[in-house]
Structure 1
Amino acid sequence: MILRKLSLAAACLLLAGQALAEPKRPECIAPAAPGGGFDLTCKLAQSALMEAKLLSKPMRVTYMPGGVGAVAYNAVVAQRPADAGTITAWSSGSLLNLAQGKFGRFDENAVRWVAGIGTSYGAIAVNKDSPYKNLDDLIKALQADPSKVVIGSGGTVGSQDWMQTAMLAKAAGIDPRKLRYVALEGGGEIATALLGGHIQVGSTDISDSMPHIQAGNMRILAVLSDERLPGPLKSDIPTAKEQGYDITWPVVRGFYLGPKVTDEEYAWWKDAFDKLLASEDFAKLRDQRELYPFAMTGEELDGYVKKRVGEYKQMAKDFGLTQ
C-alpha cells in the first residue's frame, strides 16, 4: 500500500501540467437490474461527465446483476482488471457485503477505490394502500406475527436492506431471524414487487423511492436519517428517530476501478471526479437525483472504505452473521 501511494504520487508529479488521455471506451457498470441505486449512480456520472466536457463521447451504462454487486466485483477483478475505461458503481451495501465475505475470494483490497460522489439514506417503504401508516403500525404487526409481513430487500440475510429492518426489529425487541424476507436484486426490483403487491414492505433507499412517491404509488414510513430531509415531499417524511427508534443508515455511493489500472489511468478518473465534485453544476445534477453531498476521492476514499469495512465487520459479528 505504501509503495502504491508513492507510485501514484510520483505519477501525479510526472503528469502535472500534462493533459491526461481520456478513456477511449468509457463504461459504467451498474451491478444490479435497471432502476435502482446503482443505475442512478452510473447515470449521474454519465450525465455529469458529458455536461462538464470531461468526456468527449458518451459513457455507456451496462448492467451486471448478481449478488448485489458480487458478480460485477468478481468480473472486474478476475476478468477485466486492467480495463481503464470501466468504472463500477458501489454503495455502502457493497462494503457491508465485502465485510461478510459475500464477494467470494476477493476483499476490499482487490480494487482501486476512486470516488464517492453522494449519499442517500435507507427507508422503509409501503404501497400507497398499505394499512401501515407509521412505524408503530408495522412493529405491532411484526410483534403479532412476523411471518405474515413479507419484507422485500436487496440481497439476502446480512445485506444492507436486511440490516436496516434487522436494526429496527432489534430496537423493538423482535428477533430479526424471525422476519420474513424476500431477496430481490436492488431498488428497482423492490419497487416493482411492492407496487405489484408481492411484498408488504420494502427495505430500500430514499433516492430509489422518490419517483414512486412523486407518482403517488408509494409511501415511506420512515427515512433512516438523523433529521428530516429537505425538499418537496421529503420534508414530510418522518425519521425513525422521531418515531422512537434510534436507527440511521446513510448510503454512500461511488465508483471503483480494476486492480491493474495504471496510476496514470487512475489519475485521469480521480482528476475528473475532483473537478466534478467541486462544480455547482454537478451539485445540481446530484440534487436532482435525490442525493446529498459526499465528496471523497483517491487515498482519502481508500482510507474511508477500509475504515467502514472494519466497522461493518463488527456489526455483522454483533448480529451473529459472522464469527
Structure 2
Amino acid sequence: MSFARLGATTLVAATAFAMPAFAQSEIDSPECVAPANPGGGFDLTCRVVQTGLEPHVSEPIQVTFMPGGIGAVAYNLFNTTRTDDGSAIVAFSTGSLLNIVTGKYGAFDETDVRWVGTAGADFGAIVVRADSEYEDLSQLMDDFSSDPSSVVVGAGGSVGSQDWMKGALLLREADASPMDMRYVAFDGGGDAIAALLGGSIEVYMGDVGEMVPHLESGQMRILGVMSPERLEAPFAEIPTAMEQGYDVEWTILRGFYMGGEVSDADYQAWVDAFEAAYATEEFAAVQAERGLLPLNMAGDELQASIEERVQNLREIATEVGLLSN
C-alpha cells in the first residue's frame, strides 16, 4: 500500500445513522481519559463525547488527563490495573495504532483492549504561527528541498510516530530524506502548540480538528490540510496539500478503547450510547464544530476495522523502515 495513501483506506467505513433511539445508558461515573496534556488531539476527542454523548448517558462524562509516552502510560495502565474498569473509555487515534504496531506501547498489542466507538475522522495539518515567514506551502517545501535541517519541525510524537510521518511525507515529496528532518518531539499536541507559539519550533505537524480555537484567535495559520478534498467550514478557505501540487494525505481515525477484561454488559452500555448518538443530528453538529468528519463505528464494526487498519499500518511501517521484514 502506498505510504501517501493511508488516508484513502481510513475513509472506507460508512456512517451509522439508521439506528433507533436508545434509552440513556446506565454507566457509573463515566470518564473519558485523554492520554496527554490538555489542548491536543486527545483532549479534542474526549470533548466530542463529553458533549455528544451527554443525552445518551445517565451522568455527565468527566474528562481526565493521563500524559506519558504519547498514550503509552494510559495503554499500559488499562492493560494492568484498570483492565475491568467499566466506567472509563480512553481516547486513541491512528497514531496510537501506529505506536502499537511499532512497539512503543510495550508488550501489549491491539488485541489486549476492547475498541468501543469513534468520535470521527480528522486530517493532518501543516501549521505555522500567524506571523510566520511561510505564507504558503510552496515556500516551506522549497526550504525542505534545499536544506531540510534549516526548518525546525515539531509535533506531539516521537520519530516514527504519526505526526513525524506527516513531516516525512512532505520531505519525500520535496525529494529529501525524512531522516534529515530537524524534528522536536513533544508529549502531546498541546505542548507542541505552546512551543510553536513560543517560537521554539517553526512548523507544527498537527491535526485540523484541534486547530479550531487557535484559528479563531488568529494566533496560527494552516498552510495546507492533508485531506483528499477541501473541507467544509470552518476550513473551507484552507487549500489541501494536494491542490497545491503535493501528493500527500493523512487521515486520522479518532475513537476510544476500554480495558480488555471489561464485562460485556459494561462494554455494551457504552456501545449503545455511541450508536444512539450517531443516530442524531446533534452529534453530527458536535463533530462538525470540532472539525471532524462523521466516521461512525462502534462495537464489532469498530473491532473489525481496527484489525484491518493495524494490518495496513504494519505494511506501511515496514515500507518506511520502521519495522523489519
- Structure 1 length-normalised TM: 0.91
Letter in 2 for 1:67: G
Deviation at 1:322, TM superposition (A): 1.2
Contact 2:36 2:65 in 1 (8 A): yes
1:242 aligns with 2:243: yes
In 1, distance between residues paired with 2:101 and 2:129? 32
**What is residue 58 of structure 1 aligned with on the other side?**
60
- Partner AA of 1:42 in structure 2: C
Which SS does the other structure have where 2:154 is aligned? strand
Amino acid at match of 1:117: A
Amino acid of the residue matched to residue 109 of structure 1? T
Conserved in 2, the CA contact under 8 Å of 1:151 and 1:202?
yes
Residue of structure 2 equivalent to 1:308: 309
Determine if the alignment matches structure 1 residue 46 to structure 2 residue 50.
Answer: yes
Q: 2: distance between equivalents of 1:101 and 1:159? A: 11
Give the residue type in structure 2 aligned to 1:228. R
Q: Which of 1 and 2 has greater Rg?
A: 1
Task: Give, in whole Å, the separation in 2 of the partners of 1:159 and 1:252.
Answer: 15
Question: Matches of 1:296 and 1:56 in 2, distance apart?
Answer: 21
Q: How much has 1:297 moved relative to structure 2? A: 0.8
Structure 1 segment 170-209 matched on structure 2, within 5 A: 170-209=172-211
Task: List alignment gaps of at least 5 residues for structure 2.
Answer: 1-21
Give the Cα–Cα distance (whole angstroms) in 2 for the partners of residues 108 and 272 of structure 1: 23
Rate the CA distance shift 1:213–1:79 in 2: closer, same or farther, 3 A: same
Aligned to 1:263: 264
Structure 2 length normalisation: TM-score?
0.90
Larger CA deviation: 32-41 vs 132-141? 132-141
Give the aligned partner of residue 78 of structure 2. 76
Q: Alignment identity in percent?
A: 49
Write out per-residue CA displacement over residues 105-154 of structure 1, whole angstroms, 9 at most, x where no aligned residue: 00010100011121110000011111112222112112232222110111
CA shift at 1:25, angstroms? 1.7
- Secondary structure, aligned partner of 1:236: coil
Which residue of structure 2 lines up, in the alignment, with residue 112 of structure 1?
Answer: 114
What residue is the counterpart of 1:139 in the other structure?
141
Q: From the superposition, tell whether residues 204 and 126 of structure 1 become closer, same or farther in structure 2 (CA, over 3 Å).
A: same
Which of 21, 24, 28 pairs up with 2:28?
Answer: 24
8 A contact 1:188–1:208 mirrored in 2: no
Q: CA RMSD in A?
A: 1.4
TM-aligned CA deviation for residue 167 of structure 1: 1.1
SS at match of 2:184: strand
Q: Deviations over 1:181-204 (max 9, x none)?
A: 110122211211111111000000
What do residues 47-88 of structure 1 show as CA deviations (whole Å, max 9, x unaligned)? 2222x1x22322211101111111101101111000000100
Please point out which of 164, 167, 192 is paired with 1:165. Answer: 167
1:259 maps to a residue whose letter is: G
Structure 1, unmatched stretches of 5+, are 1-17
Does the aligned pair in 2 maintain the 1:117–1:277 contact within 8 Å? no
2:303 & 2:97 partners in 1: Cα distance? Answer: 12
CA contact (8 A) 1:191 1:209 kept: no
Instruction: Give the structure 2 partner of residue 8 of structure 1.
Output: none
8 Å contact from structure 2 (residues 113, 257) kept in 1: yes
TM-superposed CA distance for 1:19, in Å, is: 7.6
Amino acid at match of 1:162: W
Distance across 1 between alignment mates of 2:80 and 2:214: 37
Counterpart residue number, 1:299 = 300
CA distance in 2, matches of 1:147, 1:284: 41
- Amino acid of the residue matched to residue 65 of structure 2? Y
Conserved in 1, the CA contact under 8 Å of 2:25 and 2:272?
no
Q: Tell me what 1:320 maps to.
A: 321
**Counterpart in 1 of 2:225?**
223
Q: Give the secondary-structure state (helix, strand or coil) at the position aligned to 1:235.
A: coil
Runs of 4+ in 1 over 3 A off after TM superposition: 18-21
Aligned AA (1:237) = I
